[in-house]
Amino acid sequence: MVFCHRIVNDSWKRSFSHQSCDASLTRTLPASEQEKIETLLAADKRLLTAFGKYQARAKTIDLVANLGFGGLDEGKARGFPNSCDKLLADRIEAGLNMDDVLTLLRSSWLDAHRHRLPQQVTLQLIARGYEVRDGRFVYRRYRSLPQ
């Protein structure tokens, strides 16, 4: 995963944005383009200052992982949010990676309903700003969603 903060567009005009993409979609800038960027930033301090302000205000890009569950009777579907809370509420703020979450699910009745169709409910895990610890994404928020 690569995170990109753009300062100028293809025409070398001011154009701030940020996004993410798979590393396979990127390439190293040629030396001539790197030199052009360095020259631009050295010559236009206002541009660099404005970009710094943009970055300070820019919203983070979050990673969202959805785990679907199905084959639930009406009572279990209604109880799904409470079951998620019992598994995650006391642990999520410290940060959990996907393996941690899957281990917790395996200790619960919920695991038998993962990937079952039709999907009825979703556990959504959120990694704010693509936080990584030990090479793994760290989820610090979750929510349960009905279908």
Backbone conformation region of residue 59, classed left if phi is above 0, alpha if psi is from -120 to 50, else beta: beta
Query: Residue 35: is its pLDDT beyond 90?
Result: yes
Given the DSSP bridges, would you call strands 132-133 and 2-8 parallel, antiparallel or unpaired?
unpaired
Write the pLDDT tens digit of every residue in 42-86: 999 999 899 989 888 877 778 899 999 999 999 999 999 999 999
Residue 132: how many CB atoms within 10 A of its CB? Answer: 13
* Structure confidence at residue 2 (pLDDT): 77
Residue 30: how many CB atoms within 10 A of its CB? Answer: 9
This prediction has a pTM of 0.68
CA dist 102 → 31, 87, 97, 125 (Å): 45, 11, 9, 12
> How many CA atoms does the CB half-sphere of 110 hold within 13 Å?
28
User: Could you tell me where the DSSP H helices lie in the chain?
Assistant: 31-43, 45-57, 74-88, 98-106
Ranges of each domain in the chain: 2-57, 63-146
pLDDT band, residue 130 (cuts 50/70/90)? confident
Write the pLDDT tens digit of every residue in 133-146: 998 999 999 999 99
Cα 51–62–113 angle (5° rounding)? 175
Whether the CB-CB separation of 2 and 20 falls below 8 Å is answered with yes
DSSP annotation of 58 reads: P
Q: C-alpha 122: how far from its chain's center?
A: 17
